[in-house]
Amino acid sequence: MPVRAIRGATRLTADDPAEMTDAVVELVEAMLERNDLDRDALISVVFTATPDLVCMFPAAAARGAGLGDVPLICAQEIAVPGALSRVVRVLAHAEIDRPRSQISHVYLRGAEVLRQDLAQ
């Protein structure tokens, strides 16, 4: 089975644990649904958060989407002047039997501006 990477991002309105949880769960579930995947297909997931998001780890929020047995890790996004604020990005690796060109990358809550070429 081929391994593919799936990109995604979401934007929060505030550095708030409840909003972080809601946004990350929504993003992960949308990534799975749009790519017709179940959680067992996930190999690992990397989360990054912009430096203004410190209320909790996005990976902890992702456990609310049922990813407790998937290897997860978080990192801080580079603080580039003028970059979009309050953004959580995701790079998920999954076993998926479709060409790279048919992978659906998911950008929500205003994060669509990050990759207009990929956002659907």
Tens digits of per-residue pLDDT, 93-120?
A: 999 998 888 999 999 987 777 766 654 5
39 is catalytic: no
Answer yes or no: 7 catalytic. Answer: yes
The single residue of 7, 11, 86, 109 carrying the catalytic annotation is 7
Domains of the chain: 3-110 (3.30.1330.40)
**Pick from 8, 25, 31: nearest CA to 61:** 25
Whole-number pLDDT of residue 34: 94
Helix (H, G, I), strand (E, B) or coil at 65: helix
Which residue type occupies 37?
L
**Could you give the CA distance from residue 64 to residue 26 in angstroms, rounded to a whole number?**
10
- Write the pLDDT tens digit of every residue in 49-102: 999 999 999 999 998 778 889 999 999 999 999 889 999 999 999 999 988 889
Told to judge if 115 belongs to the known catalytic residues of this protein, a careful annotator would answer yes
The answer to pTM > 0.75 is yes
Phi then psi dihedrals of residue 34, to 5 deg = -70, -20
11 catalytic? Reply is: no
Would you call 107 a catalytic residue per the annotation? yes
Smallest Cα–Cα separation from 33: which of 57, 65, 56, 60? 65
Average confidence (pLDDT) over 28-40: 93
Can you tell me which residue has the tokens 């593919």? Answer: 4
Mean pLDDT lowest among 15-19, 33-37, 63-67, 68-72: 63-67
Choosing from 4, 11, 77, 86, which is the catalytic residue? Answer: 77
Rounded Cα distance, 116 and 66, in Å: 29
